[in-house]
Structure 1
């Protein structure tokens, strides 16, 4: 039967640590504690005194001063592992925890779960081929040496990075290792832990390499386990339930999350709020309970995504910056070119850029690859752009240091048009009406996946009226909305007529508007 030695890294809240250790060891499991050397000595003495008579508790023999992103976190983990391996010869598994983690299953369930399969549970994805790192540095974390803490010594951290980069000082990755990456919350078998500890003694070159990488707790164990253990014996997942917001911050759990947590297909959860006294009490008692049946629905991440995409009022989700000031700004002008033929709108924007100094952005709400500045990640995905549309536009106004801006939008984005036209900013719409030939409609059907190269001609002929009516319906909906400052130019009108609408849209003189209206091949397909 599985017996777990928990590896606990902690630095605060001694009362909670004592309660956690007592709860986990009450059923015969073990715990090895590393208490950050830079934390309160009084708190450490308090923990030692409270757990001195507990045979299921051991403390790391050497304490390390820990810092986020540093090798010190791996070093502290290794110290706790060494203490656990020596003190608990009957331990079959070693489970990494933090002080913010709590069990969301019983020990009975956890032991049975681990007994079912002979494998290690650790996220272990290819460092370079996977998309585990969403933004920021990738290769730079490995090939440059990082001696300073990015949070506490930011200037030195980036100064040393820039110096190495400027001088071309890089280093090779150990040739026999495939670097892997994943969550630092793992559960490893005893044999695997012993192999890892033996490897660190035999390969000081590898330890030296990881010692100066950045955030090695996401790569060290993940790489070594994959190097030492057959792939069939690795389940690349964590047994600790954790979620992150769109901005990379851990989601915190509160009292009303108890039922949701128990229904997840995980053994522990992170992070439990320090203020969630009732949740901590209930979860603390849960681990030693017997005969509890769990209905696993595993909907936690989907539920969180559903709620946050629609917004939620409550203490779990604090007001966000785009809710406290949602206007684009009373003095600003947002000019929107609406056109179904994107190439026509882009051609018009190119000409406007040549004739004015107004910042122009193409279909940012329709095309993933629209050129946008780095705004901290809010522009990274299409879903974020739509969800945080006003915040995105405010940041773009500030980035371009302009009170006027032009964007392109597809006629199907009526919800965006309605939202922006309700804003205190002055919003103008220039709708570009184009002629849709059968050839264009067939090409459109193929681009959006309604037809393919092998679609029979008779099928296409039946499809074309539907597509044409759908496009006309989008235009009718915009007209029915009766937006203020809604202007139109038409492919069938002469440039002199279109120039009047362009002049009003851009607030420019007739001469400049005529030059824009006379753009060569403006409506050509």
Structure 2
């Protein structure tokens, strides 16, 4: 059975570290602690004294002053690993943690996961080919030497890079290594750790290289594990659940995140707020339990993006400078059907095509596989369609050889509605107001990834008020725009009443509009 040696890097909250160590070792696992040398000595003394009688606790023999992005973080990890390898000869796995991490599964479940597959868990992607680095310098992390810290010595940091570039001091990457990058939160087998430590002792050239690279905690272990371990024995993901905000900062979890956390396909989570006493207590009890019935839906990241995005109203797709003067044409008429229930809008379009000769395209800006003619590649992806929306619409008008064209948009696509209404062409809007049952919203949460197959109905039920409000708010925003030529039909209205809105929208006779409004099963889910 797996026996875990936790590698704990921490720098604050000594009482929390003591509690964390006791919880993790209470079930038979062990822990090696590196407490930042920058922290007060008294705090470290309190930790050592409180855990002195625990045989499953070891400490790094040498404490390092750690700085973000520096080699010191890797050195601290190596020091703690060496202590753990020596102190715990029966440990089979070495799991990297911070003082802000906590288990989100039971120990029994964690051991079962590690027993099921003889692999290493470490996120590692090709440094140059992947898009893991979203912002900031990339190649410069490796090919130049870094002795200044970008966070507190920004001017010196970038001046140093500029000077090395001007003097041609670019250095070579070790020829036998494929540089990899990923999260620092790994879980590695004993033989892998021993191989990495042996490699570090024998390859001083590699160690010198990484010592002056930038943010080596995202490249050192990731590269060496790929170099030393066969690919089939590596799972390129972390077993620790963490999320980042739009500003690149880790998301902090609080008391009301318990259900979300235990539903993720991970064993630990980072970062748990020090003030979240109830969450910490519940997670501590969970780890010590024998529970194994976890339904992992793994919707956390998508759910966070959804909830964090509420209220951030803006023009996501602002016009590009080369599109500002483009137009669909003064003689063109674009008809937009806006509806949250896509199947309702599609049924309406089918009926319109049956009763009129107006060409119609379904959710071309919302649905990847919507049918579109071959327009030379501009229609290939949602991203291309949205970036070049006016050019795409002009080409569709030309393809159908028409001056009137109908498209469907989700009610959330108000930025596109605004852009089309700002054009010199004529734009008309038909908004479809549908009733939204809890059952529909539950299905909607699944379709958009806010809930997974294993998410309980109780968990989704807590989201329903937010989702319902969000859908209603989209309609309110459309009305607040005071768009001209804005018609509405509603599920709660009679076909005769809806016929008026359809007639205004399509500029058709009352009889044709009534025939469309009487479409069978129009609003049925």
Pick from 321, 344, 354 the counterpart of residue 361 of structure 1.
Answer: 321
Stretches of structure 2 lacking an aligned partner (at least 5 in a row) = 338-358, 360-371, 382-395, 409-416, 431-480, 485-525
CA distance in 2, matches of 1:407, 1:284: 61
Q: What whole-Å deviation, never above 9, does each CA across 1:191-231 have from its counterpart, x for those lacking one?
A: 00000000001100000000000000000000000000000
Q: Describe the shift of the 1:38–1:461 C-alpha distance in structure 2 as closer, same or farther (beyond 3 A).
A: closer
Q: Describe the shift of the 1:464–1:146 C-alpha distance in structure 2 as closer, same or farther (beyond 3 A).
A: same
Deviation at 1:297, TM superposition (A): 1.2
Structure 1 residues 362-381: aligned runs within 5 Å:
362-363=322-323
CA distance in 2, matches of 1:245, 1:412: 37
Secondary structure at the counterpart of residue 361 of structure 1? coil
Q: What whole-Å deviation, never above 9, does each CA across 1:433-456 have from its counterpart, x for those lacking one?
A: xxx9xxxx9775974369xxxxxx
> Do the aligned partners of 2:334 and 2:406 also contact (CA within 8 Å) in 1?
no
CA distance in 2, matches of 1:467, 1:202: 74
Match of 2:274 in 1: 274
Match of 1:353 in 2: none
Deviation at 1:247, TM superposition (A): 2.2
CA distance in 1, matches of 2:335, 2:85: 60
CA distance in 2, matches of 1:309, 1:413: 29
> Do the aligned partners of 2:93 and 2:189 also contact (CA within 8 Å) in 1?
yes
CA distance in 2, matches of 1:409, 1:195: 63
Match of 2:2 in 1: 2
**TM-score, reference length from structure 2:** 0.65
CA distance in 2, matches of 1:462, 1:62: 73
CA distance in 2, matches of 1:442, 1:19: 62
Q: Describe the shift of the 1:202–1:442 C-alpha distance in structure 2 as closer, same or farther (beyond 3 A).
A: closer
CA distance in 2, matches of 1:16, 1:83: 21
How many residue pairs align between the two structures?
367
Secondary structure at the counterpart of residue 477 of structure 1? strand
Match of 1:124 in 2: 124
Deviation at 1:414, TM superposition (A): 8.9
Q: What whole-Å deviation, never above 9, does each CA across 1:297-352 have from its counterpart, x for those lacking one?
A: 111112112222333xxxxxxxxxx78xx99xxxxxxxx99xxxxxxxxxxxxxxx
Deviation at 1:47, TM superposition (A): 0.3
Match of 1:198 in 2: 198
1:448 aligns with 2:389: no
Q: What whole-Å deviation, never above 9, does each CA across 1:369-427 have from its counterpart, x for those lacking one?
A: xxxxxxxxxxxxxxxxxxxxxxxxxxxxxxxxxxxxx6768898999xxxxxxxxxxxx
1:469 aligns with 2:405: yes
Match of 2:220 in 1: 220
Deviation at 1:153, TM superposition (A): 2.1
Match of 1:67 in 2: 67
Query: Runs ≥4 in structure 1, deviation > 3 angstroms?
Result: 406-415, 441-447, 460-463, 465-468, 471-484
Secondary structure at the counterpart of residue 5 of structure 2? strand
Match of 2:476 in 1: none
Secondary structure at the counterpart of residue 58 of structure 2? strand
Match of 1:250 in 2: 250
Q: Describe the shift of the 1:15–1:176 C-alpha distance in structure 2 as closer, same or farther (beyond 3 A).
A: same
Match of 1:37 in 2: 37
> Do the aligned partners of 1:94 and 1:189 also contact (CA within 8 Å) in 2?
yes
Q: Describe the shift of the 1:446–1:296 C-alpha distance in structure 2 as closer, same or farther (beyond 3 A).
A: closer
Match of 1:505 in 2: none
Structure 1 residues 369-408: aligned runs within 5 Å:
none
> Do the aligned partners of 1:5 and 1:30 also contact (CA within 8 Å) in 2?
yes
CA distance in 2, matches of 1:479, 1:291: 54
CA distance in 2, matches of 1:281, 1:114: 25
> Do the aligned partners of 1:361 and 1:408 also contact (CA within 8 Å) in 2?
no
Secondary structure at the counterpart of residue 152 of structure 1? coil
1:265 aligns with 2:196: no
CA distance in 2, matches of 1:190, 1:56: 17
Match of 1:508 in 2: none
Match of 2:496 in 1: none
1:298 aligns with 2:298: yes
CA distance in 1, matches of 2:373, 2:127: 42
Match of 2:368 in 1: none
CA distance in 2, matches of 1:43, 1:470: 68
**TM-score, reference length from structure 1:** 0.65
